[in-house]
């Protein structure tokens, strides 16, 4: 029998569908799963009569692969990945390749790379986005690791990847080490932000504008039309799912869905990385915090009987104008959220030497993945025009829109709050723009003063009210000062370190 071109371990939805995708592009695929029955069900079900080599023993699985062997793990992140790597090592030769296609924590990927490198085994940590359907029909793929490892599977990954509207494959070499998993994690963080912002719009339509789920679905469906700036997969599925009627009673299914959003970890990891790298990502953090708040249903039921936030209703004559305002408010909030996510990627690229190309990353997110959207084309173009953009919001296409329409986001937040609708994501996006556009953050001036007062932590100085730049010494370093607050006359001295 011919040997397999690639092997997939993990016969759950993602592994099965990726294997089917590979086979449909002409590859012979070996498959294995810890629990034999799943491999058997696959072999006797969707794989029947196709070019698959099912294996029920890891040794047979490895032996069925052509050299250099290429093995893709599609198993639960954490111990299962380590367990399989440990079992595979003695069965592999130098130059063989293990690909971890699960949602692994990037620091685990760094460690695995370091462990496998000296053994001569190549390792790729890759993000695969698009869920069950994407895996089958074409996902966005974000592979990181050694360049030569990528070259071994470049053709297979390109063949199975989604294609954007212009036909470009949604896969590219992301960078060394854990670059792929870091980018996938941040992709998921951005996805959390998008979902939160869309959800806040739906809450606004329901509680501030008094609309039914069906009316909301109709509006959101329009936002997905033609060349609308909001056109995206998440907008599309929100409209499609919100219009779904309750099968057992009048009304819509969304109205009887429990307001509890669970999460698996990638959103939290994105926020943790942002905290470590000192990159503010308030919109993405607000999405994680909102999911956390959603899970404490008992507390919210108790507190809702105690606290009474606003419940003003909007006059019906203002509704259609507010729907238009919500459209542009959502777009600005989304730009702000993506600016935060991309700033995190930029910082990680510097810290971990990922050498990320943000324009390329935006390009491969245009198809296959959950955040696929029209507007990623604009992001990609913005970085192509100016790879040294200090922040996405500096791109003229976005800064001009924000400058002209930011008042709409402010209006949305104001009306939402008056109507008792939380707009944590929208407000976080708004305030990110406020802060990044502030030549002087007075709150930071006051906090620096407080820190020096109570803890002698020192402070820097600016040139004055007309010169907000930080004072530097002849060597170009920021000069640090301390005031002796407890001594009469409060003398100030320069701190030399
Ligand atoms: P799951 O994440 O549910 O993992 C199931 C697979 O992990 C099965 O093959 C299972 O084997 C294996 N496994 C487990 Br669980 N514990 C194991 C252990 N201790 N040792 C060995 N194998 C073990 O599958 P999935 O939803 O297909 O996702 C696969 C990967 O892709 C995950 O990392 C996931 O985060 C990622 N991902 C999922 C999606 C999605 O939409 N589902 C999207 C993008 C990425 P068993 O059959 O013997 O229990």
- pLDDT tens digit string along 234-253? 999 999 999 999 999 999 99
In the predicted model, what is the mean pLDDT of residues 30-50?
A: 98
Give, in order, the Cα–Cα distances in Å from 351 to each of 98, 279, 322, 338: 25, 12, 43, 20
Structural domains of the chain, with CATH: 6-177 (3.40.50.720), 185-436 (1.10.1040.10), 442-495 (no CATH)
Residue 310 — pLDDT band, cuts 50, 70, 90?
A: confident
- Cβ of residue 14 lying under 6 Å from some atom of ligand 1: yes
Dump pLDDT digits (tens) for 449-476: 999 999 999 999 999 889 999 999 889 9
The two beta strands, 29-32 and 6-9, are parallel
User: pTM of the full predicted structure?
Assistant: 0.96
Q: What is residue 315's predicted lDDT score, i.e. its pLDDT?
A: 87
Contact yes or no for 344/336 (Cβ under 8 A): no
**CA–centroid distance, residue 75 to ligand 1 (Å):** 3
Whole-number Å distance between alpha carbons of 282 and 247: 38
Query: Is 184 one of the annotated active-site residues of the chain?
Result: yes
CB proximity list for 200: less than 8 A, separation 6 or greater: 416, 421, 422, 423, 424, 425, 426
Q: What is residue 33's predicted lDDT score, i.e. its pLDDT?
A: 98
In the predicted model, what is the mean pLDDT of residues 221-225?
A: 97
Dump pLDDT digits (tens) for 337-386: 999 999 999 999 999 999 999 999 999 999 999 999 989 999 999 999 99
Whole-number Å distance between alpha carbons of 174 and 356: 6
Dump pLDDT digits (tens) for 151-192: 999 999 999 999 999 999 999 999 999 999 999 999 999 999
Name the catalytic one among 16, 70, 77, 191. 191
State what percent of residues in the chain have pLDDT above 70.
100
Confidence check: pLDDT of 329 > 90:
yes
Q: What is residue 119's predicted lDDT score, i.e. its pLDDT?
A: 97
**CA–centroid distance, residue 74 to ligand 1 (Å):** 6
Cα 204 off chain centre by: 24
Residue 258 — pLDDT band, cuts 50, 70, 90?
A: very high
Confidence check: pLDDT of 2 > 90:
no
Whole-number Å distance between alpha carbons of 419 and 410: 14
Dump pLDDT digits (tens) for 199-208: 999 999 999 9
Whole-number Å distance between alpha carbons of 336 and 459: 30
CB proximity list for 153: less than 8 A, separation 6 or greater: 6, 70, 97, 99, 124, 143
Contact yes or no for 130/156 (Cβ under 8 A): no
Dump pLDDT digits (tens) for 397-425: 999 999 999 999 999 999 999 999 999 99
In the predicted model, what is the mean pLDDT of residues 493-497?
A: 86
Q: Residue 7: beta bridge partners?
A: 30, 71
- Both tokens of residue 137? 């029909």
Residue to mutate, 7, 8, 9, 14, ligand 1, most ligand atoms under 8 Å from C-beta: 14
- Cβ of residue 86 lying under 6 Å from some atom of ligand 1: no
Dump pLDDT digits (tens) for 265-289: 999 999 999 999 999 999 999 999 9
Closest CA to 382 of 360, 365, 367: 360
- Both tokens of residue 61? 């699985």
Q: Residue 143: beta bridge partners?
A: 126
Return the residue matching tokens 């942002």: 274
Return the residue matching tokens 């109570």: 454
Q: Residue 347: beta bridge partners?
A: none
Contact yes or no for 440/462 (Cβ under 8 A): yes
Dump pLDDT digits (tens) for 42-83: 999 999 999 999 999 999 999 999 999 999 999 999 999 999
- Cβ of residue 132 lying under 6 Å from some atom of ligand 1: yes
**CA–centroid distance, residue 234 to ligand 1 (Å):** 24
3-state SS string over the chain? CCCECEEEECCCHHHHHHHHHHHHCCCCEEEECCCHHHHHHHHHCCCCCCCEEECCCHHHHHHCECCCCEEEECCCCCHHHHHHHHHHHHHCCCCCEEEECCCCCHHHHHHHHHHHHHHCCEEEEEEEECHHHHHHHCCEEEEEECHHHHHHHHHHHHHHCCECCCCCECECCCECCCHHHHHHHHHHHHHHHHHHHHHHHHHHHHHHCCCCHHHHHHHHHHCCCCCCCCCEHHHHHHHHHHCCECCCCCCEHHHHCCCCCCCCCHHHHHHHHHHHHCCCCHHHHHHHHHHHHHHCHHHHHHHHCCCCCCCCCCCHHHHHHHHHHHHHHHHHHHHHHHHHHHHHHHHHHHHHCCCCCHHHHHHHCCCCCCCCECHHHHHHHHHHHCCCCCCHHHCHHHHHHHHHHHHHHHHHHHHHHHCCCCCHHHHHHHHHHHHHCCCCCHHHHHHHHHHHHHHCCCECCECCCCCCCECECCCCCECEEEECCCCCCCCEEEECC
Name the catalytic one among 16, 70, 184, 206. 184
Confidence check: pLDDT of 1 > 80:
no
Confidence check: pLDDT of 97 > 80:
yes
- Cβ of residue 128 lying under 6 Å from some atom of ligand 1: yes
Q: What is residue 316's predicted lDDT score, i.e. its pLDDT?
A: 85
State what percent of residues in the chain have pLDDT above 90.
96
Give, in order, the Cα–Cα distances in Å from 44 to each of 9, 49, 54, 75, 494: 17, 9, 10, 21, 77
Whole-number Å distance between alpha carbons of 6 and 67: 10
**CA–centroid distance, residue 235 to ligand 1 (Å):** 27
What's the chain's length in residues?
Answer: 497
Q: What is residue 363's predicted lDDT score, i.e. its pLDDT?
A: 97
Q: What is residue 185's predicted lDDT score, i.e. its pLDDT?
A: 98
Query: Is 191 one of the annotated active-site residues of the chain?
Result: yes
Give, in order, the Cα–Cα distances in Å from 45 to each of 33, 39, 132: 15, 10, 17
The two beta strands, 6-9 and 480-483, are unpaired
Give, in order, the Cα–Cα distances in Å from 388 to each of 135, 358, 385: 34, 10, 9
Q: What is residue 477's predicted lDDT score, i.e. its pLDDT?
A: 93
Give the ligand 1 atom nearest the CA of 33: 9
Instruction: Tell me which residue has its CA closest to atom 39 in ligand 1.
Output: 131
- Cβ of residue 109 lying under 6 Å from some atom of ligand 1: no
Contact yes or no for 77/184 (Cβ under 8 A): no
Give the ligand 1 atom nearest the CA of 38: 47
């Amino acid at each position: 029998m011919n040997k397999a071109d690639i092997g997939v371990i993990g016969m759950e939805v993602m592994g099965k569908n990726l294997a089917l995708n590979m086979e449909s592009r002409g590859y012979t695929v070996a498959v294995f799963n810890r629990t034999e029955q799943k491999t058997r069900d696959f072999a006797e079900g969707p794989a029947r009569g196709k070019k698959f080599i099912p294996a029920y023993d890891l040794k047979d699985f490895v032996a069925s692969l052509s050299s250099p062997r290429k093995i893709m793990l599609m198993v639960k992140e954490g111990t299962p990945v380590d367990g399989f790597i440990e079992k595979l090592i003695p069965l592999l030769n130098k130059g063989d390749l293990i690909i971890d296609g699960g949602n692994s924590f990037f620091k685990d990927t760094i460690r695995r790379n370091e462990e496998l490198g000296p053994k001569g085994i190549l390792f790729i940590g890759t993000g695969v986005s698009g869920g069950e359907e994407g895996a089958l029909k074409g996902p966005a793929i974000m592979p990181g690791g050694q360049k030569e490892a990528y070259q071994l599977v470049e053709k297979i990954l390109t063949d199975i990847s989604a294609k954007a509207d212009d036909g470009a494959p949604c896969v590219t070499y992301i960078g060394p080490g854990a670059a792929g998993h870091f980018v996938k994690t941040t992709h998921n963080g951005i996805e959390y932000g998008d979902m939160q912002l869309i959800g806040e719009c739906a809450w606004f339509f329901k509680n501030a504008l008094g609309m039914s789920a069906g009316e909301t679905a109709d509006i959101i469906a329009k936002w997905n039309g033609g060349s609308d700036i909001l056109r995206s997969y998440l907008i599309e599925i929100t409209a499609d799912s919100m219009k779904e009627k309750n099968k057992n009673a009048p009304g819509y299914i969304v109205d009887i869905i429990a307001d509890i959003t669970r999460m698996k970890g990638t959103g939290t990891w994105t926020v943790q990385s942002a905290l470590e790298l000192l990159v503010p990502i308030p919109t993405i953090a607000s999405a994680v915090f909102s999911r956390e708040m959603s899970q404490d249903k008992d507390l919210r039921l108790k507190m809702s009987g105690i606290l009474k936030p606003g419940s003003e209703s909007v006059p019906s004559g203002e509704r259609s104008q507010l729907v238009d305002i919500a459209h542009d408010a959502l777009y600005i909030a989304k730009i702000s959220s993506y600016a935060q996510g991309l700033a995190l990627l930029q910082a990680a690229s510097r810290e971990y030497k990922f050498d990320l190309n943000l324009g390329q990353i935006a390009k491969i997110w245009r198809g296959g993945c959950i955040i696929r959207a029209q507007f990623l084309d604009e992001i990609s173009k913005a970085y192509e025009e100016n790879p040294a953009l200090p922040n996405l919001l500096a791109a003229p296409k976005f800064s001009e829109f924000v400058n002209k329409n930011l008042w709409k986001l402010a209006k949305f937040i104001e009306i939402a709050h008056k109507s008792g609708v939380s707009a944590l994501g929208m407000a976080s996006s708004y305030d990110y723009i406020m802060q990044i556009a502030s030549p002087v953050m007075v709150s930071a001036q006051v906090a620096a003063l407080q820190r020096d007062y109570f803890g002698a932590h020192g402070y820097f100085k600016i040139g004055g009210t007309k010169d907000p730049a930080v004072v530097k010494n002849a060597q170009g370093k920021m000069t640090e000062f301390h005031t002796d607050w407890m001594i009469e006359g409060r003398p100030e001295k320069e701190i030399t370190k």
